[in-house]
Amino acid sequence: MKLVKKLVILLSLLALLSFQQTDRFVGKVVVEWLDDGRKMKLLEDFAYIDPNGKTWKAPKGSKIDGASIPRLLWSVIGGPYEEKYRKASVVHDYYCVKPQNESWENVHLMFYNACVTEGTSQIKAKVMYAAVYAGGPRWEISYTKSGNNSISKIEHFKTFTQNEKFENIKRWIEQNNPDLSKINDTLNTIVIAAKL
């Protein structure tokens, strides 16, 4: 009987652990404002673990400024530190400045997932995702082989989207709740990307 009781307790614990949320933030956003009045510096490591278990770390000392949310769209969706996407914007900012080996598409998708994890409604998160997809940073990473080493080169792109077109996209998302691939397809018809 004791064995059955222990087995029931063990199975109950395993069931509880299996329902634990996989996507989450790790740490606390602790920052200090820098003298320019806009940028902040992280005083502690901060991270986001996405639904697939991948860790997106913004290390202590990183400078963030919310610039990955295009200023032009602040009046449409809000500024970078206003709502339940502040934590998401910290990690997103870091990867937009230092993409390392991450594509801009994956970084923007991480931002969407982090917004939802933080408590942003799915519709608002899709509008935020569309904003960074339409007006946020883009880059291409290419690799060349030099002897035994692989050297990466990052080319940055500037995106251009007319504000009124984005207003229409925002309304479309709010009314239809399309999936992300439909948002991407629609935005690809109106966004212009040019190499810097």
Lowest mean pLDDT among 4-8, 56-60, 138-142: 4-8
Rounded CA-CA distance 47/110 in Å is: 12
Helix/strand/coil percent split, the chain, to 5: 45, 20, 35
- Which alpha helices (DSSP H) does the chain contain, by range? 2-18, 74-77, 86-97, 104-118, 122-135, 163-176, 180-187
* Residue 170 CB neighbour total at 10 angstroms: 19
Decide if pLDDT at 71 tops 90.
Answer: no
Decide if pLDDT at 147 tops 70.
Answer: yes
Asked if residue 16 is part of any domain, the answer here is no
Q: Taking all residues of the chain, what is their mean pLDDT, rounded to a whole number?
A: 84
Asked if residue 57 is part of any domain, the answer here is yes
**Domain count for the chain:** 1
Rounded CA-CA distance 168/7 in Å is: 57
Residue 160 banded pLDDT, cuts 50, 70, 90:
confident
Residues linked to residue 194 through DSSP beta bridges, in sequence order? 158
Decide if pLDDT at 137 tops 70.
Answer: yes
Asked if residue 136 is part of any domain, the answer here is yes
Residue range 48-73: mean pLDDT, rounded: 86
Top-confidence residue, 76 or 177: 177
139: its two tokens: 């880059």
Asked if residue 147 is part of any domain, the answer here is yes
Asked if residue 6 is part of any domain, the answer here is no
User: What pLDDT, in 10s, does the model give residues 10-36?
Assistant: 555 555 444 456 899 999 999 999 998
Asked if residue 158 is part of any domain, the answer here is yes
Asked if residue 99 is part of any domain, the answer here is yes
- Domain extent, residue 92, equals 21-195
How far is the CA of 92 from the CAs of 98, 106, 151, 156, 160, in angstroms?
Answer: 10, 10, 24, 16, 20
- Distance spanning both ends of the chain, measured CA to CA: 72
pLDDT for position 80: 65
Asked if residue 142 is part of any domain, the answer here is yes
150: its two tokens: 């692989």
